[in-house]
Amino acid sequence: MTNFAIGVDLGGTNLRIAAVDETGHLIAKVTLGTRVSLGRDHVINDMCDAIQRMSAKFSTSGGLLGIGIGVPGIIDLQSGMLRESPNLSGWADYPVRAEIERRINTMVILENDANVAALGEKWLGAAKHYDDMSMWTLGTGVGGGIVVEGKIWHGMNGMAGEFGHNTVEPEGHPCNCGNRGCLEQYASATAVVRMARECVASDASSAFARAFHSDTEFSAKSIYNLAIQGDEDARRIYRRVGQALGIVLANMVNALNLPMYVIGGGVSSAWDAFSPSIFEELRQRSMVYAATAPDALSGSEGASAQVDPGKGRKTIITRALLGSDAGLFGAARLPMIAK
Amino acid sequence: MTNFAIGVDLGGTNLRIAAVDETGHLIAKVTLGTRVSLGRDHVINDMCDAIQRMSAKFSTSGGLLGIGIGVPGIIDLQSGMLRESPNLSGWADYPVRAEIERRINTMVILENDANVAALGEKWLGAAKHYDDMSMWTLGTGVGGGIVVEGKIWHGMNGMAGEFGHNTVEPEGHPCNCGNRGCLEQYASATAVVRMARECVASDASSAFARAFHSDTEFSAKSIYNLAIQGDEDARRIYRRVGQALGIVLANMVNALNLPMYVIGGGVSSAWDAFSPSIFEELRQRSMVYAATAPDALSGSEGASAQVDPGKGRKTIITRALLGSDAGLFGAARLPMIAK
């Protein structure tokens, strides 16, 4: 008999629901379309129906600990309401948590999707041996989450971890947030495709431009495929991704001095193409990284090894391991660690 | 009968020692020269003599809770040794804490000087009503410290809070840390004087250049005096200080979502000249600030007021209140809150 929780990943396109037991074992998973166009009540009905079927199915083998829901946008943690959610318009100022708690009659926790992904990678993924970490999700946008002592670090309003809007280029590309030159403008899937368009516009006769025009579904993934085939334009785009990430990671390694930073989201599948640039920037730009990088500590970097005051406590930057399930696992984890 | 602690500010020039009681009342203060040239043992003798005289004097009125020492540089928190301290060469790998504990026979805590300044402003200064805050010390360099739940937040090696080395301009002025375009290169007293020299070099006949040449002690303070008299070159230099601070504060407000950021150190006396630029940058560059700025919450900024999920929890950026005593008070606070 093992207790379990239900994790929900409520995206603008897919509604995914999973039952996960306390040991991190996935016992069931369903994926539904998020019928956003039918309105909020339809989506909540679909979600509650699926949760009830799932919890009924496993109620003989263990107790339901609660429900965690990851949602893109800004959440009011106290009231359990969505404040700003670009993909779920019409949900603001509606008591989402209270309504689901009323229907299912169990504890419901609402959380930002980047934060639940961080918690998932901390619990079962790349950071499972670390209590303190941060996760950077490179998707349509760039999200972030910080975990301290095993729990999501919210800051005062639940807004902490917005690494995607750290300024990389003060006069750089305009961002929807109102700033210019945000990390999100260089390291999201959207940014990779924009940089590809800029590249095509600057040289319409290049091999890159021909590949672009011959592929109607040209995406960050297509550009990665070109990069691994050696296309110099594609490689340069991913170097730019890595440089931007390296600058912001350097800022955060200096400011936070965490032991682990996990890079996830769809764009992270191009890790081989952009990660060398991350480490190049980090080494040059972060004195804390230079003093705590894995090879600095083994002594192979000479003098900088002596700077390490932590004696073996290293700064690790690594790929996420759970893919898109990070958010589901993290959401299911929420009721397990709620006090 | 009130217990007291002794705080020490061990700088490269001055050695300052204060007795502070548990209510934050300063009961004694001495300033000695740091006789660095006579060697480590001389400085430690001077310090221990002064501490012993002070603690003997007040031992009838209360118990000595311990000694806190703020030191510029990187400290190994576990061993109580200095790892890197540019002004105290020859101290690395010497058991500073153990030696002082042996001589005085009481608890000794060694801490980075920017961190103790943060703790001082949290205890008795600008952030005294806040449990979570960060402090930015604009001096010869730019130091930083983070306080969470009333205690210094160290990160894994005690290196957290290095805001001074956050990248403002990826291809900007080289920094001693190995990076280019660090905040420290635009917002320290050293940077203000460098920017003044650059300004004089670019137009040797300006009123600013004449003022520069007629003042043998031309400093960040002289430039501030020119700025408040309306000199456009001097004003532009301080706008640059504010812009650089605003960019990095925007990054940190987005990442940390703390309720209070305190700006101190010698350069902060020019607050009037640079702070308008801070707020201009913050408003444009930080979506978290835009949603939580004091005037956003009062509704005067219209739509953005609705984004606030914290209902009244504001982001405050303000001047430090304790001047150079922040470090002394913070150092004295260390043994009081040690568990």
Q: Does B83 touch chain A (CB under 8 A)?
A: yes
- For B65, the token pair is 């809770």
Closest listed residue to residue A166, CA positions, set A97, A94, A95, A256? A256
The answer on B316 and B195 residing in a single domain is yes
Q: Are A159 and A149 spatial neighbours (Cβ–Cβ below 8 Å)?
A: no
DSSP H or E run through B148:
strand B142-148
| DSSP state for residue A158 in the 8-state scheme | S
Q: Does B76 touch chain A (CB under 8 A)?
A: yes
Nearest by CB to residue B310, choosing from A156, A179, A290, is A156
DSSP H or E run through B328:
helix B326-337
pLDDT at position A185 is 98
Mean pLDDT of B10-31: 93
Q: What are phi and psi of A110, to 5 degrees?
A: -100, 140
Residue A105: helix, strand or coil by DSSP? coil
Angle (CA) B299 B302 B307, round 5°: 80
The phi-psi region of residue B155 (left if phi > 0; otherwise alpha if psi is between -120 and 50; otherwise beta) is left
pLDDT at position A302 is 35
Provide the residue range defining the domain that includes A267.
133-320
Give burial (CB, 10 Å; 0-12/13-18/19+) of A134: buried
Mean pLDDT of B194-207: 96
Spell out the residues 6+ positions from residue A319 whose beta carbon is closer than 8 angstroms to its own: A126, A262, A263, A264, A268, A271, A275
Give A-chain residues touching B313 at CB under 8 angstroms: 156-157
Give burial (CB, 10 Å; 0-12/13-18/19+) of A86: exposed
Closest listed residue to residue B179, CA positions, set B196, B195, B162, B194? B162
Q: Indicate if the pLDDT at residue B80 is higher than 60.
A: yes
The answer on A101 and A76 residing in a single domain is yes
The answer on B142 and B231 residing in a single domain is yes
The answer on B142 and B54 residing in a single domain is no
Amino acid at B294: P
Q: Hey, are the CB atoms on B160 and A313 less than 8 Å from each other? A: no
Beta bridge partners of B15: B10, B32
Q: Which of B287, B301, B313 should we substitute to test contact with A (largest number of A Cβ atoms within 10 Å)?
A: B287
Min Cα separation B53/chain A (Å): 33
Mean pLDDT of B243-268: 97
Give A-chain residues touching B243 at CB under 8 angstroms: 170
Q: pLDDT digit string (tens) for B29-73?
A: 999 988 878 888 999 999 999 999 999 998 888 899 999 999 988
Q: pLDDT digit string (tens) for B289-302?
A: 998 999 865 443 33
pLDDT at position A300 is 39
Min Cα separation A217/chain B (Å): 32
Mean pLDDT of B233-243: 98
Percent pLDDT > 70 in chain B is 94
Give the total residue count for chain B: 339
The answer on B212 and B107 residing in a single domain is no
The answer on A181 and A50 residing in a single domain is no
The answer on B232 and B112 residing in a single domain is no
In this prediction the pTM is: 0.93
Helix axes A232-256, A271-285, angle to 10 degrees: 40
Min Cα separation A54/chain B (Å): 32
pLDDT along chain A (339 residues), means of 10: 92 91 95 85 93 91 93 86 79 89 94 96 97 96 96 94 97 95 97 96 95 92 96 98 98 97 97 98 96 69 38 86 96 93
The answer on B331 and B316 residing in a single domain is no
- The pLDDT confidence band at residue B308, using thresholds 50, 70 and 90, is very low
The answer on B114 and B157 residing in a single domain is no
Q: Does B144 touch chain A (CB under 8 A)?
A: yes
Closest listed residue to residue A136, CA positions, set A145, A148, A125, A123? A145
The answer on A252 and A238 residing in a single domain is yes
Give B-chain residues touching A156 at CB under 8 angstroms: 132, 257-259, 292, 310, 313, 315
Measured between alpha carbons, how far is residue B107 from residues A144, B4, B93 in Å? Answer: 40, 13, 20
Closest listed residue to residue A23, CA positions, set A339, A338, A332? A332
pLDDT at position B249 is 98
The answer on A309 and A230 residing in a single domain is yes
Closest listed residue to residue B134, CA positions, set B169, B160, B166, B165? B160
Q: Does A172 touch chain B (CB under 8 A)?
A: no
Residues 185-204 of A with CB under 8 A from B: none
Residues 253-292 of A with CB under 8 A from B: 254-259, 284-288, 290-292
Q: Does B312 touch chain A (CB under 8 A)?
A: no
Alpha helices in chain A (DSSP H): 40-58, 96-104, 113-124, 184-187, 189-202, 207-213, 220-228, 232-256, 271-285, 287-292, 294-297, 304-307, 326-337
pLDDT at position B82 is 86
Q: Are A264 and A319 spatial neighbours (Cβ–Cβ below 8 Å)?
A: yes
pLDDT at position A296 is 66
Q: What are phi and psi of B205, to 5 degrees?
A: -105, 5
- The CATH number linked to A147 is 3.30.420.40
The answer on B293 and B269 residing in a single domain is yes
Give the total residue count for chain A: 339
Q: Are B43 and B29 spatial neighbours (Cβ–Cβ below 8 Å)?
A: no
Q: Are A134 and A93 spatial neighbours (Cβ–Cβ below 8 Å)?
A: no
Q: Indicate if the pLDDT at residue B312 is higher than 70.
A: no
Q: Are B234 and B226 spatial neighbours (Cβ–Cβ below 8 Å)?
A: yes
Q: What are phi and psi of A25, to 5 degrees?
A: -85, 130
Count how many domains chain A has. Answer: 2
Measured between alpha carbons, how far is residue A46 from residues A43, A100, A328, B197, B324 in Å? Answer: 5, 11, 17, 67, 61
Q: Distance of alpha carbon A18 from its chain centroid, rounded?
A: 18
Nearest C-alpha in A relative to B303 = A84
DSSP H or E run through B243:
helix B232-256
Dist CA A300 CA A305 (whole Å): 8
The phi-psi region of residue A242 (left if phi > 0; otherwise alpha if psi is between -120 and 50; otherwise beta) is alpha
Closest listed residue to residue B279, CA positions, set B269, B270, B268, B290? B290
Residue A107: helix, strand or coil by DSSP? coil
Q: Does B73 touch chain A (CB under 8 A)?
A: no
Mean pLDDT, chain B, integer: 91
Q: Does B3 touch chain A (CB under 8 A)?
A: no
Spell out the residues 6+ positions from residue B259 whose beta carbon is closer than 8 angstroms to its own: A156, B130, B132, B133, B313, B314, B315, B316
